Amino acid sequence: MEQVIGITAFDLRVTGLRDVNTALHAPDLAGEFVIANPAGAHNVAVGLDAPIKVTIDGHVGYYAAGMNKHAEVIVNGNAGTGVAENMMSGSVWVKGNASQSAGATAHGGLLVIEGSAAARCGISMKGVDIVVGGDVGHMSAFMAQAGRLVIRGDAGEALGDSIYEARLYVRGDVASLGADCVAKPMRPEHHRELEQLLKAAGFDDDDTGSYTRYGSARSLYHFHVDNAAAY
């Protein structure tokens, strides 16, 4: 661990990941931290619970910034499976691409992926806001309960399958919609909401009129035998 002009720097070639994560869980923590040479390590900066800023310089493996609360985490690279999984608040910003299940089950906060995200982005999301600069893979927003998912590129097959009340905004093409997911009109409040999300993610220049909104048809909320094949 090295102190550099008010920023605490860790080098994962020198300090073990468990020691780094333990240091980031110290009581009454504040300030800025940099983690160098992650080299695809799993579970980097997980379980943060303080209003700190953590910059990870390099690619990370599974579950980076998982269970984040309050912290601002920046990944200067790509992220493996489950980045920002079960995040409660704060923000996680991936400068590259993300593997599958980005933002899975997350309850709050903002996840920005400047590149593309693989399959199941936002699966079972419960209130998080996710903005993806590129494309997303199949089954994204599967069983998405609440929150907003913005996709500036294309979406893979079965988008929003079995969706509840999350709102999806897609600028590109959708390969196919999942069960009970339908296109919905863009009313003024949705344009305003989308504009705010794009601005927060640094995509201010996007025309909200080029996006389509998707959400639940609400036909699967109560079982009916005619819909049995869709479950």
The backbone torsions φ and ψ at residue 193, rounded to the nearest 5 degrees and listed phi first, read: -60, -45
Percent of the chain's residues with pLDDT above 90: 92
Better-predicted residue by pLDDT, 91 or 219: 91
Per-residue pLDDT at 192: 98
At 2, the pLDDT band (50, 70, 90 cuts) reads low
State mean pLDDT over 112-121.
Answer: 99
Per-residue pLDDT at 58: 98
**Structure tokens, 26:** 């110290």
Per-residue pLDDT at 231: 58
DSSP codes of every residue in 45-110: T-S-BSS-EEEEES-B-TTTTTT-BS-EEEESS-B-TTTTTT--SSEEEESS-B-TTTTTT--SSE
- What SS3 state is found at 111? strand
Per-residue pLDDT at 219: 87
Mean pLDDT of the chain: 95
Is pLDDT of 4 > 50?
no
- CA-only gyration radius of the chain, Å: 18
| Burial of 65 per CB tally in 10 Å (0-12, 13-18, 19+) | buried
DSSP state of 31: S
pTM of the entire predicted model: 0.94
At 146, the pLDDT band (50, 70, 90 cuts) reads very high
Per-residue pLDDT at 228: 67
Residue type at 207 in one-letter notation: D
